[in-house]
Amino acid sequence: MMRLDYYVKAFYDLNYPETAVSAYQEILSFNELLQFYPKLKNITVYNKDVMVVLFDTLKDHYSELFLNWIKVLIEDRHLRSFKRITQIYLSLLIKDQLYFVVDVKSAHPLSNQTQEKILKLVQDNYGLALEIDYEIDPNLVMGLVISINHQVIDLTALGQLKHLASEVLQ
């Protein structure tokens, strides 16, 4: 049995780089479908009637390449692991810097205007393919901590003081 990584990497390579992000959107959409209809995870090639109806329904919503990949996953009984498949695919996008996961932590809720400014700043510097999450961290006194694909930008008062102290001590 092949590891899931190989299935995901093969699909990723077929889409890289032009359609890799849109393929991820298909994966997310299909993942939602599986959450809404969990019995689909148990579908096998032996359910020929169900397979025909399923793929006839999906053909208007997904690319042919994606549907063929799903058929392979069904044949090899990997649809139950689709959540993990989604995670592996996202990690490949992040590694190749085609997609950015942004976490913004602040001591207090940010206004819509501030959130829009942060979003625009990140998009201008990193691109449009991103997901952004805002979180309140009461341990922060002032400022923000922004994490972009695990790269941390500390804009808190304490972080700025630490940075200033390290520059003075050098």
CB 119 within 8 A of CB 127: no
Query: What is d(CA 7, CA 73) in angstroms, rounded to the nearest whole number?
Result: 8
Answer whether residue 1 shows pLDDT above 80.
no
Q: Find the mean pLDDT for residues 133-160.
A: 91
For residues 119 and 112, the answer to whether their CB atoms sit within 8 Å is no
Rounded to the nearest 5 degrees, what angle is found at the Cα of 47, between the Cα atoms of 70 and 26?
20
The DSSP annotation for 107-159 comes to SSPPPHHHHHHHHHHHHHHH-S-EEEEEEE-TT--SSEEEEETTEEEE-SHHH
Q: Give percent above pLDDT 90 in the chain.
A: 76
Is pLDDT above 80 for 94? yes
Residue range 43-75, pLDDT digits in tens: 888 888 889 999 999 999 999 999 999 999 999
Burial of residue 120, with CB atoms counted within 10 A of its CB: 0-12 exposed, 13-18 middle, 19 or more buried: exposed
Percent residues over pLDDT 70 in the chain: 99
pLDDT at position 44, please? 86
Global pTM reads 0.85
Residue in this structure with the two tokens 């207090």, named with its chain if needed? 108
What are the angstrom distances between the C-alpha of 38 and each of 47, 77, 81, 129?
16, 14, 12, 28
C-alpha 23/C-alpha 69 separation (Å) is: 11
- Average pLDDT in the 95-108 region? 94
- If you average pLDDT over every residue of the chain, what do you get? 93
Most confident listed range (5-9, 43-47, 127-131, 150-154):
5-9
For 122-142, what is the mean pLDDT?
Answer: 91
Contacts with 93 (C-beta within 8 Å, 6 or more apart), sequence order: 20, 21, 24, 99, 129
Up-side HSE of residue 139: CA atoms within 13 Å toward CB? 4
The pLDDT tens digits for 6-48 are: 999 999 999 999 999 999 999 999 999 999 999 999 988 888 8
Asked whether residue 135 carries a pLDDT value surpassing 80, the answer given is yes
The pair of structure tokens assigned to 27 is 């994966």
